[in-house]
Structure 1
Amino acid sequence: MSEYDYDDLGLVAGLEIHQQLDTETKLFCACPTRLRDPEEASRTFTRYLHPTKSELGELDQAAVEESRVDREFEYLAYDTTCLVEEDDEPPGRVDEEAIETTLEIAQLMEMEPVDQAHVMRKIVVDGSNTTGFQRTMLAATDGVIETEEGNVGIEDLMLEEESAQRVEETDSGVRYSLDRLGIPLVEIGTRPDISSPEQARDAAEQIGMLLRSTGKVKRGLGTIRQDVNVSIAEGARVEIKGVQSLDDIDDIVRNEVGRQVELLDIAAELADRDAAVGDVRDVSEVFAETDSGVIGGALSGDGRAMAVPLFGFDGLVGREILPDRRLGTEFADHAKRHGAGGIFHTDELPAYGVTEAEVEDLRDAVGAGPEDAVALVADDPETAELAIEAVADRAEQALDGVPEETRGANEDGTTRYLRPLPGAARMYPETDVPSVDLDPSEVDPPELLTEKISRYQEEFGLDAALAEQVAYGHRMPLFEQAVEMGVDPTLAADTLESTMTELRRDDVPVENVTDEHFEELFALLVEDELAKEGIPELLTALAENPELSASEAAEQQDLGSAGEDEVREAVVDVVERNEEQIEAEGMGAFSALMGECMGALRGKADGDVVSDVLREEIQKRA
């Protein structure tokens, strides 16, 4: 998709960053915040959720549309799952560790904490919360971050509970895992100050750096999510949820601008054609003898074929509005929300077993001419009717241009329809949790990662690349702990970053190496019970046998630090086997014999010590 003049289009964008906090317990209960394998679930239970009215008697439209899809929600519970997570008892008080970290984040973004945080309920009936709502509270407002294209204001900082983790779609609904539900989560919302795709990515990177500077946020896939709000002057605000990678944000913004431009062009063309959306019709008889497997299969099971004429839409339903996504794809997204597998439309027919004659009969059945399009859904009666009505509603929106909506991010940088934008009716007070007084004076702001990089270079002598790698790495606290223990800073950094990267490339399962393993390894180094040359072998042993301690693995692999006598004995043995080479080459034989000596000692001795002994023994014989 071509680049646009974003100033001319009036691009306005904002971010919502959701980051899990690395606390010991969940936000409203004492359950642990670690994720579990779904196979560890000890039991399951099911729920059906429906929207409730706000205090003013209003229903949120996003929740209403969600509830139109009849689904059963199944929850996987574990031996750590409590009654709060199951919504069978009231929540506890807000976790103090989460509050402290939230206030640190507020200070880093120059925000003003509220005097008192009040917990609110936000209606969510997609099954991701057993309660049918998410608990959230405003913690701070009015902050700012810097980007290369100017400052971006921070509107608000929320502390809330993470949703349950979607495991899979089932025949009757959705299966969720309760291990993630309730993990403390901060939501950071920027003001709509972002005016280019590049600035959106820059702002997200700055916020990510500030969050990681606390050292108290979870790391890894799924622990941070970015939502992007995008609009152009003639378009509409669209919220794009679930952007997993920072690398995707600029592409997401760029593609959404292109989508809105294309939809506006389509709306202008439809206006010129005096286009309109007709009434839904049952066209099952048209396909009574069809060779189409999809349509015939649906009708053979007492299903129905439902169609809607789209007057003046010919050629536009198949028009591309995103890479590999067309206006018809947008229609299909709405149909799929109601259980349909997709739609057919005349811009792509005849095809899929539908003949030219059937297309003409379809047009006749709904009163469509050659300048018109027809959309079709074939499914069970209820699904077909709901799905084709959703298609007709979306076609009506196409006449006006860009609809306000919530969309989901796809891995290829495109997006798909999820639901309407939520409104104010989804929020109401939580009466089971008391308010929380916030005192920022009790919290000291942490050192920024950019400041750590400079300090690691100046104080520890790390080169710039290694200093940045350690500061931004999730093992940064382990590095600082190792240095405090007396480990050489460069050796500690190389162990945590370079050595682990090399082992991962060799398919060693390094994800099994725990923080405790590293702490024990560094203790062995400090106590001279392990030579630095033995580190890769010890880490490999721990990765393959994570149930062992570092000392047990070192003993099993015979990696204990060799004493001077043992080193000399091994070196003399190598030298005596290679006396002829030494007589011929003198010190020229050093490099080859050094490798043989280190191999004989199997990482049990420091290379500098071995080198000194080897030089001495060669000189005796040269």
Structure 2
Amino acid sequence: MTAYDYDDLGLVAGLEIHQQLDTATKLFCGCPTEERDPESATRSFTRFLHPTKSELGELDEAALEESQVEREFEYLAYDTTCLVEEDEEPPHRLDEEAREVALQIADLLEMEPVDQAHVMRKLVIDGSNTSGFQRTALVAQDGVIETDDGPVGVEDLLLEEESAQRVEERGDDVTFSLDRLGVPLVEIGTRPDIDSPAQAQEAAETIGMLLRSTGAVKRGLGTIRQDVNVSIAAGARVEIKGVQALDQIAEIVREEVGRQVELLAIRDELAERDASVGDVQDVSEVFADTDSGVIGGALSDGGVVKAVPLYEFDGLVGREIQPDRRLGTELSDHAKRRGAGGIFHTDELPAYGVTESEVDALREAVGAGEDDAVAIVADDPETASGAIEAAAERARTAIEGVPEETRGANDDATTRYLRPLPGAARMYPETDVPPVELDVSDVETPELLTEKVDRYQSEYGLDAGLAEQVAFGRRMPLFERAVDEGIDATFAAGLLESTLTELRRDDVAIGNLTDEHLLAVMRLVEDGDLAKEGVGDVLTTLADDPSLSAEAAVEEAGLSGVSEDEVREAVSEVVERNAAQVQDEGMGAFSALMGEAMGALRGKADGEVVSDVLREEIQKRA
């Protein structure tokens, strides 16, 4: 990994955190916010989306590029899907529960709420919303969080509707699921106060902790997403979208800095060479008898091969700018946005069935010399023309340096081109939802997770590690609900953090266990109707058949409680079988016999009861 002097490079970064709220209903309708299995969809419908002009008659550049490829979008609907989600009915008023949670978050971020929340429409025609726009409202401004490297300002907090979930892509057509569309979401944007990858990571983790402190945000993969804005002094602002894991943010920032450094080095080299980009040409004849499957397949389907000469680019199109990504990959990303499968270029040819003689003929056809590169696209005439023009335009921006753009995060912390940066033309007022007065008088400041850790230790006697696990865990609200009911805190914490972890490792489907399942099992133990030793078996039974009640699961698992007389009888049998050991070792035989006694009772009796009876029986015979 290359080490960079971030101060010297002039690194500036900011974050946009998108977090789903765990409310009962969606932001603009009364539909539930639970995730659904796409297989349970009851019907579907399709739409085509097109960009619209802003109030000033302007078209957003990002939306315009998205519209270059006409896509048909399919939406999976469910038995709970309503007309608002289908964009067949105006949205209802802004959800009150979501407003209250958003104001709690604003309070934790030390932000100033606005007097009125005005809902706006944000143009999105990638199919993620049936209406062609996303509704969003500014809730608060001017906050701050603290990091080890200094404060980071929080510019704004918005309350908006979540997009539909992408399920499948088939060429240009995309299928979305409507279960996620409309789930309340907060977007938190920091100021560009971050000047190192480590500070970006810490800022994101701090905001994440504050969000979870409300106990009212969804947890799990996809429920929180981070966008990272990165630039260096000689580069450009780049928005990286869709970072799923908090612990990937520092690496994302480092990789983007490295990408911009490499692009600037390519710019300087191109300037020294006096590089330029030529005109697009049809070179189909060059590949009339090709053995390349991709090119030959396109030509046999009535397609063409379009080429663009990249003068003085030789060796630079194949130059790596991120791990396993090159300048040619950037050109290919732009071509893909216009519907093509990608590009070939002479820095990687001959390959893919293209011969050296075909490369020579290609250079000759477009007037390219040995210091030049050539990029080609093979596809239907319209797609090939649009794709090669997009690749050519990206090559021209390489001469200028680093382009401003929106990029998508890859799993390996590299990024790919998505679209131009959006502008102000994508926002306009939502006329179907009236403004909402924001009342902050009744907003309660939530207890921070870090404060909960301290309280769990002092109030409930949990050790530091378990207290932190519970406080930062997904089931923290359930833990607090359990102890409020009088359930032993150490037992509840152990079940939620240790027992469930062990069951998951044993491939038990703990995802089938609801909060009510877990709470019911805790109540049985607290009331003496189930031994702690039988909890794992009962939870396994419930996970296998979630329709059972906790009481029925106890019966199913064969763990109905036993009387003290039955316990004594079973323990006496164990002691009698091991009479010689008891005679020789006395209480020294306790540990070995305890395990045997618990096994004989198969979790039907509490360990403390068995322990007391066993001690008595050993003492009788010692």
TM-score tier by shorter-chain length is: over 0.9
Q: 1:449: which partner in 2?
A: 449
- Residue 56 of structure 2: aligned partner: 56
Aligned partner of 1:363 in structure 2 is 363
The residue number in structure 2 matching 1:419 is 419
**Using the alignment, how far apart are the partners of 1:356 and 1:525 within structure 2?**
76
- The residue number in structure 2 matching 1:526 is 526
Alignment of 1:80-95 (within 5 A): 80-95=80-95
- C-alpha displacement at 1:580, in angstroms? 2.7
| Aligned mates of 1:9, 1:88 — CA distance in 2 | 51
Rounded to whole Å, the distance in 2 between the matches of 1:590 and 1:20 is 53
Name the CA distance, whole Å, in 2 between partners of 1:3 and 1:541. 53
- SS in structure 2 of the partner of residue 17 of structure 1: strand
Tell me the secondary structure at the aligned position of residue 440 of structure 1.
coil
Q: Is the 8 A contact 2:83 2:89 kept in 1?
A: yes
2:72 match: 72
- Separation of aligned partners in 2, 1:199 and 1:128: 32
Measure how far apart 1:522 and its partner are.
1.6
User: What is the alpha-carbon root mean square deviation over aligned residues?
Assistant: 0.9
Aligned to 2:238: 238
- Partner residue of 2:499? 499
Aligned position for 1:254: 254
Pairs within 5 Å for 1:125-140? 125-140=125-140
- In 1, the alpha carbon distance for the partners of 2:514 and 2:3 equals 46
Amino acid at match of 2:56: L
Report if the CA contact (8 A) 1:205-1:246 is conserved: yes
2:409 equivalent to 1:409: yes
Offset of residue 583 of structure 1: 2.3
SS at match of 1:143: strand
**Alpha-carbon distance, 1:440 to partner:** 1.1
Instruction: Give the deviation of 1:486 after TM superposition.
Output: 2.0
Per-residue deviation, 1:584: 2.9
Query: AA paired with 1:3?
Result: A
Report the equivalent of 2:300. Answer: 300
Report the equivalent of 2:594.
594
AA aligned opposite 1:99: R
Q: Distance in 2 between matches of 1:420 and 1:484?
A: 51
Q: In structure 1, what is the equivalent of residue 315 of structure 2?
A: 315
Contact 2:172 2:339 in 1 (8 A): no
Does 1:461 find its partner at 2:474? no
The one-letter code of the counterpart of 1:539 is: L
**1:454 aligned partner, one-letter code:** D
Instruction: Give distance in 2, aligned partners of 1:604 and 1:538.
Output: 11
SS at match of 2:403: coil
Counterpart-to-counterpart distance in 2, 1:77 and 1:240: 30
SS state at 2:349 partner: coil
Between the aligned partners of 2:517 and 2:402, the Cα distance in structure 1 is 54
> How far is the alpha carbon of 1:172 from its aligned partner?
4.4
The one-letter code matched in structure 1 to 2:434 is P
Question: Which residue identity does 1:533 align to in structure 2?
Answer: E
Conservation of the 8 A alpha-carbon contact between 2:58 and 2:425: yes
Cα 1:196–1:172 change in 2 (3 A) is closer
Q: Which secondary structure state, in structure 2, belongs to the residue aligned with residue 242 of structure 1?
A: strand
**Secondary structure at the counterpart of residue 407 of structure 1:** strand
Structure 2 residue matching 1:529: 3-state secondary structure: coil
Matching residue of 2:213: 213
Residue 347 of structure 1 is matched in structure 2 by: 347
Cα distance between partner residues in 1 of 2:586 and 2:448: 54
95-104 vs 1-10, greater mean Cα deviation: 1-10
Match of 1:150 in 2: 150
Q: Secondary structure at the match of 2:105?
A: helix
1:146-185 counterparts in 2 under 5 A? Answer: 146-185=146-185
Residue type of the partner of 2:612? D
Residue-pair matches, total: 622
1:439 and 2:414 matched:
no
Contact 1:3 1:254 in 2 (8 A): no
SS of the aligned residue for 1:181 comes to coil
Mapped to 2, the partners of 1:519 and 1:466 lie a distance apart of 19
Structure 1 position 293, deviation (Å): 1.3
Task: Give the structure 2 partner of residue 398 of structure 1.
Answer: 398
Deviations 1:269-308 (A, max 9, x none): 1111111110000000011111111111111111100000
Post-superposition Cα deviations, 1:133-159, rounded to whole Å, max 9, x if no partner, equal: 000000000000011111100000000
Identify the residue that residue 607 of structure 1 maps to in structure 2: 607
Match of 2:572 in 1: 572
Secondary structure at the counterpart of residue 441 of structure 2: helix
CA drift at 1:229 = 0.2
Q: Say whether the 8 Å CA contact 2:113–2:141 is kept in structure 1.
A: yes
> Quick one: distance in 2 between partners of 1:425 and 1:289?
48
Cα distance in 2 for residues equivalent to 1:52 and 1:587: 84
Deviations 1:487-521 (A, max 9, x none): 22111100000111111111111111110001111
Q: Which moves more between the two structures, 473-482 or 420-429?
A: 473-482
Paired amino acid for 2:41: A
| Aligned position for 2:559 | 559
Q: Is the 8 A contact 1:90 1:432 kept in 2?
A: yes
Q: Which amino acid aligns with 1:495?
A: L
For 1:478 and 1:121, the matched residues in 2 are separated by 36
Per the alignment, residue 584 of structure 2 pairs with 584
Q: Residue deviations 1:300-325, cap 9 Å, x none? A: 11110000000110100000000000
Secondary structure at the counterpart of residue 359 of structure 1: helix
Q: Deviations over 1:86-126 (max 9, x none)?
A: 00010000100000000000000000000000000000000
User: 2:283–2:365: 8 Å Cα contact kept in structure 1?
Assistant: yes
Q: Tell me the CA shift for residue 562 of structure 1.
A: 2.8
Distance 1:613 1:40 in 2: 53
Bigger drift between 112-121 and 357-366 goes to 357-366
The residue aligned with 1:548 is: 548
Q: Which moved more, 1:438-447 or 1:96-105?
A: 438-447
Matched residue, 1:20: 20
1:330 & 1:56 partners in 2: Cα distance?
33
Which residue pairs with 1:103 in the alignment?
103
TM-score, normalised to structure 2, is 0.99
Structure 2 Cα separation of the partners of residues 355 and 558 of structure 1: 72
**Counterpart contact for 2:194–2:200, Cα < 8 Å:** yes
- What amino acid is aligned across from residue 330 of structure 1 in structure 2? E
Return the offset for 1:575. 1.6
1:478 is aligned to 2:470: no
Matching residue's letter, 1:497: E
User: In the aligned structure 2, how far is the partner of 1:9 from the partner of 1:257?
Assistant: 9
TM-score (norm 1): 0.99
Contact 2:136/2:158 (<8 A) preserved: yes
What's the secondary structure of 2:226's corresponding residue?
strand
Provide the C-alpha distance between the structure 2 equivalents of 1:233 and 1:171, rounded to a whole number of angstroms. 39
Deviation, structure 1 residue 545: 1.5
Distance 1:59 1:271 in 2: 33
Conserved? CA contact 1:230–1:257, under 8 Å = yes
- Which deviates the most, 582-591 or 507-516? 582-591
Tell me the residue number matched to 2:229: 229
Unaligned 5+ runs, structure 2: none
* Identical-pair percentage: 76
Residues in 2 aligned to 1:449 and 1:583: alpha-carbon distance in whole angstroms: 54
| Cα separation, 2, equivalents of 1:417 and 1:178 | 26
- Deviation string 1:347-375 (CA, Å, 9 cap, x unpaired) is 11111111111111111111111111000
Are the equivalent residues in 2 in contact too, given 1:485–1:526 (CA < 8 A)?
Answer: no
Listed one character per residue, the Cα deviations across residues 16-58 of structure 1 (whole Å, up to 9, x for unaligned) are 0000000000000000001111111111111000000000000
Q: Does the aligned pair in 1 maintain the 2:69–2:172 contact within 8 Å?
A: no
- The answer to whether residue 186 in structure 2 is matched with residue 186 in structure 1 is yes
**1:201 paired to 2:201:** yes
- Structure 1, unaligned stretches of length 5 or more? none
Confirm or deny: 8 A CA contact 2:310 2:372 kept in the other structure: yes
